């Protein structure tokens, strides 16, 4: 999988977020979610890093029954 245009593909490391209609209800009342980078189109974000993004950032995709989150590098608030 190759990401383009500063997009970053990640796996969710947090507990599942509950969705009610179009409203997102985070577990543990967090304002961010923790993700592990799987593929990156940005030079500053390296595969294997842990990143934090706002809970509403990015969008989910499903490939081979696995769920991934794709976010833009501009939405990242912290890289560990």
Greater confidence (27 vs 12) lies with: 12
Residue in 14, 78, 75 with CA at minimum distance from that of residue 49: 78
Q: Span 7-32, mean pLDDT?
A: 72
| Full-model pTM | 0.76
3-state helix, strand, coil in the chain (%, to 5): 10, 50, 40
CB–CB of 59/69 below 8 Å?
A: yes
Greater confidence (24 vs 64) lies with: 64
Q: Interior CA angle at 41 toward 76 and 25, to 5°?
A: 35
Residue 16 has pLDDT above 60, yes or no: no
pLDDT digits (tens, 9 = 90+) for 37-61: 999 999 999 999 999 999 889 999 9
């Amino acid at each position: 999988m190759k990401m383009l245009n500063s997009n970053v593909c990640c796996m969710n490391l947090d507990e599942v977020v509950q969705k009610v209609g179009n409203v997102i209800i985070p577990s543990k009342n967090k304002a961010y979610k923790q993700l592990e980078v799987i593929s990156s189109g940005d030079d500053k974000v390296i595969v294997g890093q842990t990143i934090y993004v706002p809970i509403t950032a990015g969008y989910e995709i499903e490939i081979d029954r696995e769920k991934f989150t794709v976010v833009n590098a501009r939405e990242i608030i912290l890289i560990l």
